[in-house]
Amino acid sequence: MCGIVGYVGKRQASGICLDGLKRLEYRGYDSAGISVLTEDGQLNSLKTVGKLSILCEALQQKPLSGALGIGHTRWATHGRPSQENSHPHISGNSRIAVVHNGIIENYQELREGLIRDGVKFASQTDSETMAHLVQKHYDGDLREAVCRAVRELHGAFAFGVICADSPGQLVAVRRFSPLVVGIGEGENFIASDMGAIRKETDKVYVIDDNEVASLTAEGVELTGLDGAAIEREVFVIPWPAEAAEKGGHKHFMHKEIHEQPDTIRACLTGRVASPDRPIMLDGLGLSEDEIRNMRRVVFTACGTAYHAGMTGRFLMEKLARIPSEVDLAAELRDRDPMVLDHTLCVVISQSGETADTLAALRSMKEKGAKILAVLNVVDSSIARESDGVIYIQAGPEIGVASTKCYTSQTLTLTMLALYFSQVRGTLTEDELRSYRQELLRLPESAKVLLAREDAIREVALKHYERTDALYLARGVNVPSAMEGALKMKEISYIHAEGYSAGEMKHGPIALIEPKCFTVAIAIAGEVYEKMIGNIMEIKARSGPMIVVATDGDARIPDAGVDPHAESDDFSAQPNDMVWVPPMPEMLSPILLGIPLQLLSYHTADLRGKDIDQPRNLAKTVTVE
């Protein structure tokens, strides 16, 4: 996830781009850069590694002058954060500058072809490919050159492109990565989100996949890749400029919850291309023989990442048939685990800096395990000490409560289990095809879940004043229950516990009373009947009940309802419902975080809590 901006008009482009980038810094802060076309046709660029403030200082020393420009703030995916990997990327003839957000899946192949044609690459990025491709196709029409280049690309992208030979023109295009065009008077803008340009205008075109925008100071032309004109209604941004940083959302957590269709897609990109093609996972640091000979997998992490690890453990054993276990990182070292040959330790961390996770990694490495890290932040301490790394590609997560990263960690670990199954032959080709098909549907299912937010807020309204909560599930969704409870307690401060529903009768059931609500996950699947039994047990003890169930389930709303009980007794009341679309049980932990995050979010909001910075917590915990 990166941020892109662009400007064409009469004012100084660099200042406007810089201002837009400040509002996009939440999308990445590994490096930043701006390219501007001067009045005498020179393409000048300035790029710096690190936060945007460093670029601001550099621009004060060396201002860039010109009324056409593009800017970028980077979240590294291909190539470490460095000067040469920073955007904008420049074509070999130094006439074209490109900013990119997304991942070009087939960049290796394209890069090799361009190198054979004599092109010299200056960076390790996938993005630079686009600058050279546009040069290759440019014959005086920048829009057409961009369209031809894009037709060669697979993957997800939003590009902004300027060319010294097409002064006064900015071309932008998208596929799967967000892009808006801001409409001004005598000037126009592009950006990854509306917040970046809200200060300049409240009128935008929201660009769709495979649409191209050609901007001049005077106007904006929208076309398809085939050049056919597109009519688009102007969207008027309904929120004020002050709300820009959070893109109109009240909290970063809310914004990040809503980014999940995009972050899920980014995580799948380059890994699951179609139901008929095998899953590809780069960077594992393991040969296929090593995967075949693997005898044990140990997952370890803290907090939310540990819950993702629990799902990883479940699926690795169930699908890839490798004995697996999961440990809290803070406990792993102290139990002095025995590490046999052919043991893989999978460490999971958003930040890559969590002290307990790093210590667990070091101890497992010392004992001879191979280390595979599942991380969000590139170039972290954990990345440097691991044998292999898979990045979840979720972009910066600012809210202290992890949301989109949990979903992407769970998705990545699911893909890992499926990839191991592919290599070890533990699933049939039909089963694998069906999983790949379902994985590709996840971004759309995430959208469906988010569209049900109002109904979830209604449920929160009924229960937000209670003091305790129990989250129950069975099988593959026990981690979902634990994560739901963690989210609830960390932002709303309601005391919440996540349990296997099977354990309930061994203690937690004593908590059931009107001030304690239960959230039961009872979607269609293997453990459904048993979950109904648990719901009935809680209803019989007058516990308020919220059930996460599959659309169309007619049994659950009244499960356990006693028509003879007093009307103010919870036994007499139908269950409050959180409906979710049908989904394969084994993939459901990837999606079920979303409604549970929304339930916690609205509960905390109704209780008036400081959602992005809950008390006593820090985003990155670098002490043991």
Positions annotated as catalytic residues are 2, 619
Please, what is the minimum distance in Å from the beta carbon of residue 79 to ligand M6R?
22
Name the residue with tokens 């529903």.
501
**349 touches ligand M6R by CB under 6 A:** yes
**401 touches ligand M6R by CB under 6 A:** yes
Measured CA to CA, the distance from residue 567 to residue 565 in angstroms comes to 6
Backbone torsions φ then ψ of 124, nearest 5 degrees:
-100, 10
**354 touches ligand M6R by CB under 6 A:** yes
Strands (E), 422-572: 468-473, 495-500, 516-521, 545-550
Which tokens go with 218? 């005077």
In 3-state terms, what secondary structure has residue 366? helix
Query: Residue 297: CB partners within 8 Å, gap ≥ 6?
Result: 313, 316, 322, 323, 324, 325, 343, 344, 345, 346
**161 touches ligand M6R by CB under 6 A:** no
Site for ligand M6R in 293-312 (CB under 6 A): 302-305
Q: CB–CB of 169/175 below 8 Å?
A: no
Please, what is the minimum distance in Å from the beta carbon of residue 347 to ligand M6R?
9
Site string for ligand M6R, 484-503 (x = CB under 6 A): --x---x-------------
Nearer to ligand M6R, 434 or 620 (CB): 620
Q: CB–CB of 489/537 below 8 Å?
A: no
Q: CB–CB of 355/363 below 8 Å?
A: no
Burial grade of 562 (CB within 10 A; 0-12, 13-18, 19 or more)? middle
**400 touches ligand M6R by CB under 6 A:** yes
**350 touches ligand M6R by CB under 6 A:** yes
State the amino acid at position 64 in one-letter form: L
Complete DSSP assignment for 301-337: E-HHHHHHHHHHHHHHHHHH---EEEEEHHHHTTT--
**597 touches ligand M6R by CB under 6 A:** no
Please, what is the minimum distance in Å from the beta carbon of residue 390 to ligand M6R?
14
Nearer to ligand M6R, 303 or 337 (CB): 303
Please, what is the minimum distance in Å from the beta carbon of residue 302 to ligand M6R?
4
Backbone torsions φ then ψ of 208, nearest 5 degrees:
-100, 175
Nearer to ligand M6R, 75 or 579 (CB): 75
Interacting span for ligand M6R (CB under 6 A) from 4-12, 201-209, 262-270, 398-406 = 398-406
Nearer to ligand M6R, 354 or 410 (CB): 354
Site string for ligand M6R, 170-209 (x = CB under 6 A): ----------------------------------------
Which tokens go with 343? 């043991």
Burial grade of 9 (CB within 10 A; 0-12, 13-18, 19 or more)? buried
**390 touches ligand M6R by CB under 6 A:** no
Please, what is the minimum distance in Å from the beta carbon of residue 152 to ligand M6R?
37
Measured CA to CA, the distance from residue 341 to residue 345 in angstroms comes to 12
Nearer to ligand M6R, 200 or 256 (CB): 256
- Considering only residues 91, 402, 477, 534, which one is a binding residue for ligand M6R as defined by CB under 6 A? 402
In 3-state terms, what secondary structure has residue 419? helix
Q: Which residues pair with 157 in a beta bridge?
A: 102, 176
Nearer to ligand M6R, 183 or 345 (CB): 345
Q: Which residue is nearest to ligand M6R (CB)?
A: 303
Please, what is the minimum distance in Å from the beta carbon of residue 371 to ligand M6R?
15
Interacting span for ligand M6R (CB under 6 A) from 123-131, 399-407, 447-455, 594-602 = 399-407
Q: Which residues pair with 500 in a beta bridge?
A: 473
Site string for ligand M6R, 450-489 (x = CB under 6 A): ------------------------------------x---
3-state secondary structure string across 281-296: CCCCCCCHHHHHHCCE
Please, what is the minimum distance in Å from the beta carbon of residue 588 to ligand M6R?
20
Residues contacting ligand M6R: total by CB under 6 A: 17
Nearer to ligand M6R, 176 or 499 (CB): 499
**326 touches ligand M6R by CB under 6 A:** no
**357 touches ligand M6R by CB under 6 A:** yes
**351 touches ligand M6R by CB under 6 A:** yes
**621 touches ligand M6R by CB under 6 A:** yes
Measured CA to CA, the distance from residue 236 to residue 222 in angstroms comes to 18
Measured CA to CA, the distance from residue 380 to residue 401 in angstroms comes to 20
Please, what is the minimum distance in Å from the beta carbon of residue 303 to ligand M6R?
2
Please, what is the minimum distance in Å from the beta carbon of residue 442 to ligand M6R?
21
Measured CA to CA, the distance from residue 348 to residue 352 in angstroms comes to 8
Nearer to ligand M6R, 157 or 406 (CB): 406
Q: What are the residue ranges of helices labelled H in 476-585?
A: 478-492, 528-539
Q: CB–CB of 391/368 below 8 Å?
A: no
Nearer to ligand M6R, 401 or 411 (CB): 401
Measured CA to CA, the distance from residue 73 to residue 30 in angstroms comes to 7
Q: Are strands 203-206 and 180-183 parallel, antiparallel or unpaired?
A: antiparallel
- Where do contacts with ligand M6R occur on this chain (CB under 6 A)? 302-305, 349-351, 354, 357, 400-402, 486, 490, 617, 620-621
